[in-house]
Chain A
Amino acid sequence: MKFEHTKLTLLFLFIAAFAIWQTVNDSEKLAGREYVKQVEGQWVPADEIDRQAGIAQVSTSRSIGLWVGAFFTLFIFSFLYKDNPFYKMAESTVVGVSAGYVMVVGFWTTIIPNLLGKLTPGLIQQWAMPGLSPEQAPGAWVYIFPLILGIMLIMRLVPKASWISVWPLAFIIGTTAGLRMVAFLEADFLSQIENSIVPFVEIDETNSVDYWQSFQNIFSVVSILACLVYFFFSIEHKGAVGKVSRFGIWILMITFGAMFGMTVMGRIALLAIRLEFLFREWLNLHL
């Protein structure tokens, strides 16, 4: 094993030892374990009151899951040091689990109720959805078409028959194109132009000119027009056009700066929640 991998292994062992020590010595008895109580046959998370009442118990399986989740988190973080087998193992796991997860979700949320439930409601009702009416709705036979298209789509996996998968793909592409064209025109083109048409002179409730709001409106309209001039690449950006497009670039730079600032905020929040999980939920550490 490479020296770097040995270092990482030792580090993980050290963390595991610390976590075990913390689990054993935690005065609140929260570290490294999850408490559950049974409510109507279901095991649900138990709180401090349930523990004090004596109805909560440590769930072995969920506690093991907690440790597994914590170590998966650490394995992913280890990539920051160097690519290593622990990270690769975690990455492989997430690829497999995510693919399986979305397939199961698609099956139970759509294929069963919305496709097979329409074509063979009696069978689905007997087996998976007792609340469904066993009578086929009138006109439900048309669902044979998406079933056929779906089978054609799966033919993509068979090299000799993969050409047929282009038909349902074309359906998807055509539908998306049709949906998006109208929606983008309405919401992002026409509505945005409408939203941009604001009064240059704003009058407030006291019937006097609101100079600040008026300035903002004028600035906003000028900025939008300047940015749009910049996007006109078929005209040379010289002279007056050049100056206006320069102003447009400045506006865009400020926009990108704001976007960067907000993006940083978002990324840090994602890190904060993972560290909260490790320090609070797993180790119950407080300084």
Chain B
Amino acid sequence: MKRTVPLLIAACCGVVLIITAFIPATVSWGETATVWFDILAAIAFVLGGGNLLKIHLKKVSDRAAGWAYSLITVLAFLITLTIGLTKWSVPPATDQERYGETFATLPLDDLPKSLTFTEQVDLDAKYAREELPDSVKRQLQLKQENDRIVSLIFRGWMKPGQAQELLAAHQNLEWQSAIESLAEKAAVPKSMRGKVIYHADHEVLSAAGVLTENGEKELLAMEASDNWDEAVRTLTEKTHRKTTFQLREIPAHFKIPEQFAGQVKLVDQSLELTGPLTPAMQNAFTNIFPRSRPMSKKDTKDFVQKVATLDGGLTKEQKQLFTALLGVSWNADQLIAVLDEAGKSKPVIKTYRELLKEKQSGVRELEPTKPSTAPDIKLNKQQIKFIRDNVDNQQYDLGNLAGDLKERGDWNTSQQQALGKFLQKAPTIGARNKLICLALTKGKSKLSDAQYSYLLEPYRVEHLWNGQIYDLLVKSHEVKYPWSGAYLQTGSPFWFAYEYAFKPLTATMFSLLAFYVASAAFRAFRAKNFEAFLLLGTAFIVLLGRTFAGAWLSSLVPDTLPMLRVENITIFIMSVVNTAGNRAIMIGISLGIVSTSLKILLGVDRSYLGSGED
């Protein structure tokens, strides 16, 4: 029994995997077996670690020869294991923490009754037999009567992502139309959109930024359980907590944006923040630095000259490169083209309900879009002239461009958004100057300290400010998933163990082989017969051919005798002779593997079972 069961297990697993190669319907069995194999391989590491501990702890406790080294092994193992398993000093994953949001625990059942949304439908029951997307399983119910789905019941607010997943679940207009209606009903009310949401997967009620008094009243007005009221009050309390952050340096032109004036105050050298810093606030606070823009020839020349007059000067090549780099910027024509493109009226995407209506009225070829009623807006001559006159005028604030263009002609929201996106794409002055410094110091070129200081000042200010705002983001944030970070986070103690112990040690261990191969070459490689001579001769040719020596030797061979070139001989050896030899070896090995595998699967080879004495 002890030996029969393992033989049967081995045989069954092997046969299943062989069958999957021939019968496509059984591929999933093979996948399952391989997935279990992978899990066991991971558990085998645990076994390895346990075995290591067992052997070395015994050596230490017995005070056997070399026990001190065993103690080092055990300590190194336990320290690495502890810092790795506990994710010591690993910050939480930034993309999982939902910065700017505050959570209050609230089970799904404690949601108010008013947050149960029902959509009456008449759908085929087949939709109920298929898997719903994971994100909605807890919240969506499909009520059936007489083999038809009669209503869709959704508990809680529906997030846009959930709506998208449900729409994509079945490519059928009836289904999609029903989901669209349900999504509209179950959306967060306009007054609270972007401020409050319920995450069913985590069973938490979430508020973004500060939950205002009005917001709190609106939520409490939804009569629900005590848990609901408590959750709302918890959110209010948490989002009104104040954070004070001492700033080391404030950019000269920093002003708190108007829309956040109620939440943030600048008092002396510190920022006082109510509630968490949201990503929108972070973006607004860091997006204050001027961006690079086209420069006129005169401005470019002046800037280059200014840097050239500083200590160290610039070489001719540096000046040329500097001028060329300053010329690499967006230009007025590109901006005009983008604004004209944005001004074109775009077709309006029809809703699924509209498409369903068309289908039901007999339309065969359904068009997903309909033409827009808004007219195309193209920039007029005045607007174009204004753009050309002012884009390279360093005194003109591009932040006023939208307003000025609106005064001079037709202007719509699309163009406004396109302008904002276009200007945002350009690097900041700090980023631009950093790239310039990198380019000007390539190879043997240098810049003086004064030149570095002058060029990199905007980069320094920007970097420090962004760092401070990020620190404020973290300080005002309540950590939700402390163990969600990556176990090999750079800078963590586990990473230290890898970078400064594991990596140098293993790499150096292997590098010792270079010395041994040299020693073996001197002491052991003897051309005692023709075959050994062939081996060593080939080794010489390959050793030479794979370095510059081969290329140099080849240059001595006339063009009329290309076959005598070392590099060509090397290619012949590798791609013909070596290929032939290794092919024969591979064929032999593969037959050996097949025979060994068959012996194992048929139970002829039982060596892996051990001696059977334990």
User: Which residues on A are within 8 Å of B, measured CB to CB?
Assistant: 37-44, 48-49, 52-55, 61, 65-66, 68-70, 72-73, 76-77, 79-80, 88-111, 114-115, 125-131, 133-135, 137-138, 142-143, 145-147, 149-150, 153-154, 156-157, 159, 162-163, 166-182, 184-185, 188-189, 192-193, 195-196, 216, 219-220, 223-224, 227-228, 231, 248-265, 267-268, 270-271, 273-274, 277
Contact = CB atoms under 8 A, between A and B. Distances in A.
Interface in B20-52: 21, 32-52
Contact of B506 (A94, A103, A168, A261): A94
B5 A184 contact: no
Given A55-B463, A97-B497, A188-B590, A181 B598 contact: yes
Contact of B76 (A70, A80, A97, A189): A97
Given A53-B459, A97-B76, A114-B38, A69 B43 contact: no
Interface string B528-539: 001110111111
Contacts of A273: 507, 511
19 contacts: A37-B463, A48-B441, A53-B434, A55-B463, A55-B464, A93-B73, A97-B505, A104-B85, A105-B487, A106-B41, A133-B135, A149-B36, A170-B5, A170-B9, A179-B34, A184-B593, A188-B593, A231-B588, A261-B540
B399 to A, nearest CB: 26
Interface stretch (B114-122, B327-335, B390-398, B478-486): B478-486
Interface stretch (B302-310, B340-348, B578-586): B578-586
A115 to B, nearest CB: 5
Contacts of B540: 261
A170 B9 CA distance: 6
A205 to B, nearest CB: 19
A98 B594 contact: no
Contacts of A189: 586-587, 590-591, 594
Contacts of B497: 97, 100-101
Nearest to A45: B490
A142 B32 contact: yes
Contacts of A180: 593, 597
Contacts of B487: 104-105, 108
Contacts of B460: 53-55
Closest 5 CB pairs of A and B: A257-B538, A96-B76, A261-B542, A100-B80, A255-B581
Contacts of B577: 219, 223, 251, 254-255, 258
Given A103-B49, A110-B42, 14 more contacts: A49-B456, A76-B508, A79-B512, A88-B69, A96-B73, A100-B76, A101-B502, A133-B137, A146-B39, A188-B589, A189-B586, A256-B581, A260-B535, A267-B513
B326 interface: no
B501 A94 contact: yes
B499 A69 contact: yes
Nearest to B505: A94
B517 A267 contact: yes
B84 interface: yes
B9 A220 contact: no
Nearest to A37: B463
Given A40-B94, A135-B138, A72 B505 contact: yes
A267 B517 CA distance: 8
B239 interface: no
B363 interface: no
B221 interface: no
Interface stretch (B225-233, B410-418, B466-474): B466-474
Nearest to B610: A166
Contact of B505 (A88, A90, A162, A195): A90
B576 A220 contact: yes
Contact of A261 (B50, B546, B583): B546
Contacts of B573: 254, 258
A181 B21 CA distance: 11
Nearest to A157: B50
A68 B505 CA distance: 10
A189 B587 CA distance: 5
Contacts of A171: 9-10, 13, 36-37, 40
Tell me the dominant secondary structure on chain B's binding face.
helix
Nearest to A265: B546
A41 B546 contact: no
Contacts of B434: 49, 53
Contacts of A268: 514
Contacts of B452: 49, 52-53
A260 B539 contact: yes
A130 B13 CA distance: 35
Contacts of B500: 65-66, 68-69, 72
B559 interface: no
A104 B81 contact: yes
Interface residues of B, number: 156
B52 A99 contact: yes
A175 B6 contact: no
Nearest to B483: A128
Interface string B587-614: 1111101101110110000001110001
Between A99, A128, A249, A270, the greatest number of chain B beta carbons within 10 A of the residue's beta carbon is seen for A99
Contacts of B449: 52
B200 to A, nearest CB: 9
Contact of B534 (A177, A248, A253): A253
B511 A257 contact: no
Contacts of A96: 52, 72-78, 80
A142 B28 CA distance: 13
B44 to A, nearest CB: 7
A166 B499 contact: no
A45 to B, nearest CB: 9
Interface string B486-497: 010111001011
A69 B40 contact: no
Nearest to A225: B584
A62 to B, nearest CB: 8
B49 A99 contact: yes
A85 to B, nearest CB: 8
Contacts of A109: 42
B427 interface: no
B43 A111 contact: yes
Nearest to B78: A100
Given A188-B589, A254-B534, A271-B514, A227 B580 contact: yes
B441 A65 contact: no
A77 to B, nearest CB: 7
Nearest to B579: A220
A61 B382 CA distance: 61
Nearest to B2: A163
B11 interface: yes
A76 B505 contact: yes
> Interface centre among A43, A49, A91, A149, by most B CB within 10 Å?
A49
A271 B7 CA distance: 46
B539 to A, nearest CB: 4
Interface centre among A89, A172, A273 (most CB of B within 10 A): A172
B96 interface: yes
Interface in B297-328: none
